[in-house]
Amino acid sequence: MAVRMFCENFQQASDEEFAISWLFRYPFPGSPEKGSSMRNRLVPRTEWHRFFRDFSRRHEDWLVTVRIVSSALGDQVESSDLPLEGIDADPAGHGPISIHLGRSPQRHVEHEVANPTQIWVELSEEGAEKALQVESMDGTKTIVEFRSAPLPQEVDGLLHP
């Protein structure tokens, strides 16, 4: 089935369009079906530090699920429905990326992504950030997905006036 989808999509899209659509077809649950539109953004390495600082401010305390997808272990849920504390990256764009979840010591989770190579943001048709994917050098993907993805202006000031 996946090979057939791969071939069908390849014939219908340019190489760049195909790469972007295929990356987000799996493993993001609930991705739109073929034919619906969604925009995804690759974050350049030079922007990682600033992007994560701003992303963390926009989504502080939003409930997220963190999934780890690797060829060795498959799709594993590391944490589910914990508030996002923040995501940190080295200012120079080198070194690991740290994802911090939970507010209490009993529920705190820190996930470190070693040797990150790419950062992708999945956007809804309306432009809301739905999920974040961090790819590692070994092919492992760490996905941070929001329970819901409202537009920033819909929640602006509700949690942190």
Does some domain include residue 2? no
In a domain, 95, yes or no: yes
Matching residue, tokens 């048709």: 125
> Does any domain span residue 14?
no
Domain annotation covers residue 45 = yes
Total count of domains within the chain: 1
| Cβ(43)–Cβ(51) below 8 Å | yes
CB atoms within 10 A of CB 108: 13
Is 19 domain-assigned? no
84 located within any domain:
yes
- pLDDT level of residue 38 (50, 70, 90 thresholds): low
Sign of the C-alpha dihedral computed for residues 32, 35, 41 and 42 taken in this order: positive
CATH code for the domain in which residue 124 is found: 2.70.180
- Over residues 108-132, the pLDDT tens digits come to 999 999 999 999 999 988 888 999 9
Q: Is residue 4 part of a domain?
A: no
Residue that wins the pLDDT comparison between 60 and 156: 60
pLDDT digits 0-9 by tens, 10-37: 344 344 343 334 344 444 433 444 444 4
Q: Which residue has the tokens 């972007």?
A: 20
> By residue range, what is the domain housing residue 142?
34-155
